[in-house]
Amino acid sequence: MIFDIIKRRRSVFPAQYNNRPIVKSDIEKILEAANYAPTHKRTEPWRFKVLQGESKDKLGIFLAEKYKENDPSPKDFKYRKLLDNPKKSGAVIAICMQRDQKESLPEWEELASTAMAVQNMWLRCTEMGIGCYWSSTGLIKYMDEFFDLKSGEKCLGFFYMGHYDEEVPVVPRGPVTDKVIWL
Could you tell me the sign of the dihedral formed by the alpha carbons of 141, 143, 145, 148, in that order? negative
Strand order in the sheet with 131-135: 46-51, 91-98, 153-162, 131-135
Question: 93: closest CA among 9, 35, 169, 40?
Answer: 35
> Is 11 annotated to bind ligand?
yes
> Is 40 annotated to bind ligand?
yes
> Is 136 annotated to bind ligand?
yes
If phi > 0 it is left, if psi is from -120 to 50 it is alpha, else beta; for residue 182 that is: beta
Query: Residues comprising the binding site?
Result: 9-11, 40, 134-136
Binding site as annotated, residues for FMN: 9-11, 40, 134-136
